[in-house]
Amino acid sequence: MRQYSVMLVDDEEDVIEIIRRKLNWEEMGFCVTASAHNGVEALETAEELQPDVVMTDIKMPYMDGLTLARKLKEQNPKVKIIIFSGFDEFEYAKEAIKLEAEEYLLKPVNADELNGVFARIKQNLDKEIDEEQNIDKLKNYYIESLPILQENFYTSLLRGQIKPDRIGSLIVGYQIDLKGPYYTTVLLHISSSDVPDDMDSTLLNVSVKRLAAEQLSDRWRAKIVTWFTDIVLIAQLENEEEMTALTDDCDRFCRTAKKFSRATVTAGIGHVVPIISDLSKSFEGADSAVSYRMMYGTGKAINIAEIDPHENAEIPSAEDGMQNVFHRIKTGTTESVDEAVRQLVDSIIQARSTIQQYRLLVMEMIADIFRFGNNNHLNMEDVFGKNNDVYSEALSIDSPSALVAWLYDISIKMQQLIVSERQSSTRSFVDKAEDYVKDNYADKELTIESICNYLGVSSAYFSTVFKKETGKTFINYLTEIRMKKAVELLIDQNEKTYIIAEKTGYADPNYFSYVFKKQYGMSPSKYKAAMKQDSGEAK
């Protein structure tokens, strides 16, 4: 059975204990996890524990129950509120209804009535959770989302962003038909300089996409994707010889688009590939084919295999490998950095490039390293050393293992510098917060929101970082600072309680005394007397 947490709030401890004993909480599916004696204390506790149900009195010091209920709903709209009071007044009931309270009860609370209230609340909580977890609802949402998921899949596939071993499961999960056995891509480039005066470019794209679906989709089992201001077709072929027919169909389509959509469309056709994961390479060829429109003209189909048979040849590049190294430097361990460096060097060696190509790759890698360092505000002299001829040093490396060691050493240095910079930045951020509290603890308006405005950060980020660095919540830290100052004013300067309250940021002297007692286990006056007694005994 699901169990939900309850917080009881009343300024009288006896009332809280009576309510605790009235019900068999565990049997009903509840657990009283906290109690509070005023609205301020309850709000702080609720922020930390996030109770499912809060049962609160109305008339309390420092913050009444209705104000507490309103703030709790702002903090967590799903929290269930039960309000009880000894005041049978219609205005209270109206306000409770506005706050969407589950129940408004009059003291003394009847056990049977209370039992019924919590039974209804549990039923509502169970129903809410069941609805959120409703499998049929999730299935319907998934089906509605399929077109978007499929389009995102096609886009990621064309960019080469999906690992080959994941493609099969995604195709099944997204209900996609890509059986092939051969594939190619067609990039339909819509001229932006030849748009009819009475036609919006966005509508022109829609028109061409719909026409492509009518003219090309069925025969070539094509998947159609919007690609920025252009359109991409992922076509499926029975054999490589069908490329000629596809090219002719695309050429006819360009003329049809001009006639019916009044769009100047150039169709760039990439290489045929037998593996879905290679579609990104086919798309690169399609994109290159479109660029040849500068020589061959617009409004026609251009097959990259016909105009540049060597376009598909692999040109050695270290860009992807370097990006993987940089990603590991920023987010990975030293072991993962080592793995990424070895993968990069392996890819360079396996490319079997000429010595000229190898030297060009190394120079490009160094340029990428400097760019990465500058983007992350690193002092590159700390990485490479002062007055060091980096290019000569790198080009003099004479073995793959030496290249791995050189790249790994540079990568680890950059990783350490980035980690050090993050720690320094975080510590500086917390130091500013602590200094601000020490300078402004007497400000009655000092809150987590005001200090976040001062620092220019969100409350969520501030709370996380502050707790991680100090081991305390901001409220606890602020209270400690105020209490330390209060003790100093109380003992050393012999100030009155109401003056100390004002000087330490408390508008209400009674609430100051309450917090002081909670902190030190006794009232300010008793604390002062105890300190004097201890001082006398010491003498």
Q: Above pLDDT 90, what percent of the chain?
A: 47
The CA distance from 254 to 342, in Å, is: 47
The band of 310, judged by pLDDT with boundaries at 50, 70 and 90, is: very low
Which among 82-96, 154-168, 314-328 has the top mean pLDDT?
A: 154-168
Contact predicate 305/282, CB 8 Å: no
The band of 454, judged by pLDDT with boundaries at 50, 70 and 90, is: confident
Q: Is residue 426, in this structure, part of any structural domain at all?
A: no
Alpha helix stretches (DSSP H) within 389-447: 390-395, 400-440
Indicate the length of the chain as a whole number.
539
Q: Tell me the C-alpha to C-alpha distance, in Å, between residue 324 and each of 104, 337, 342, 343.
A: 60, 9, 11, 9
pLDDT of residue 374: 87
Does residue 448 register a pLDDT over 90? no
Q: Is residue 341, in this structure, part of any structural domain at all?
A: yes
Nearest to 345 by CA among 399, 414, 415: 399
Query: Which CATH number do you get for residue 25?
Result: 3.40.50.2300
pLDDT of residue 309: 46
Q: 402: domain range? A: 319-421
Query: Which CATH number do you get for residue 198?
Result: 3.30.70.270
**Is the bond into 196 cis (omega within 30 degrees of 0)?**
no
Give the distance from CA 238 to its chain's centroid.
43
The band of 189, judged by pLDDT with boundaries at 50, 70 and 90, is: very high
Average pLDDT over residues 327-336: 86
Identify whether residues 29 and 117 lie together within a single domain.
yes
Long-range contacts of 303-312 (CB under 8 A, 24+ apart): 303/243, 303/247, 303/269, 304/268, 304/269, 304/270, 304/271, 305/243, 305/269, 305/271, 305/272, 306/247, 311/271, 311/285, 312/271, 312/281, 312/285
pLDDT of residue 185: 97
Q: Is residue 431, in this structure, part of any structural domain at all?
A: no
pLDDT of residue 464: 81
Task: Render 369-394 in DSSP notation, one character per residue.
Answer: HHHHHHHTT--HHHHH-TT--HHHHH
Q: Is residue 62, in this structure, part of any structural domain at all?
A: yes
Query: Which CATH number do you get for residue 496?
Result: 1.10.10.60
Q: Is residue 30, in this structure, part of any structural domain at all?
A: yes
Tokens 């105009």 locate to 307
Identify whether residues 324 and 303 lie together within a single domain.
no
Q: Above pLDDT 70, what percent of the chain?
A: 91
Identify whether residues 471 and 352 lie together within a single domain.
no
Of 409 and 392, the structure prediction assigns the larger pLDDT to 409
Among 307, 340, 364, identify where a domain stops: 307
Lowest-confidence range among 74-78, 213-217, 467-471? 467-471
Does residue 86 register a pLDDT over 90? no
Please give the backbone phi and psi of residue 218, each rounded to the nearest 5 degrees, phi first. Answer: -65, -50
pLDDT of residue 352: 54
Q: Is residue 435, in this structure, part of any structural domain at all?
A: no
Of 397 and 382, the structure prediction assigns the larger pLDDT to 382
Q: Is residue 36, in this structure, part of any structural domain at all?
A: yes
Identify whether residues 470 and 520 lie together within a single domain.
yes
The overall pTM is greater than 0.75: no
User: Looking at this protein, which amino acid is placed at residue 68?
Assistant: L
Identify whether residues 98 and 125 lie together within a single domain.
yes
Identify whether residues 395 and 275 lie together within a single domain.
no
Does residue 466 register a pLDDT over 60? yes
Average pLDDT over residues 331-348: 87
SS3 content of the chain, % helix, strand, coil (to 5): 65, 10, 25
Identify whether residues 106 and 181 lie together within a single domain.
no
The CA distance from 535 to 265, in Å, is: 93
Q: What is the mean pLDDT of the chain?
A: 86
Identify whether residues 123 and 187 lie together within a single domain.
no
Contact predicate 7/55, CB 8 Å: yes
Nearest to 531 by CA among 473, 503, 500, 489: 489
Identify whether residues 91 and 211 lie together within a single domain.
no
> Structurally, how many domains does the chain consist of?
4
pLDDT of residue 315: 46
Contact predicate 373/404, CB 8 Å: no
Identify whether residues 297 and 375 lie together within a single domain.
no
Does residue 287 register a pLDDT over 80? yes
Identify whether residues 174 and 299 lie together within a single domain.
yes
Strand, coil or helix: 80: strand
Q: Is residue 47, in this structure, part of any structural domain at all?
A: yes
Identify whether residues 92 and 190 lie together within a single domain.
no
pLDDT of residue 88: 63
pLDDT of residue 398: 64
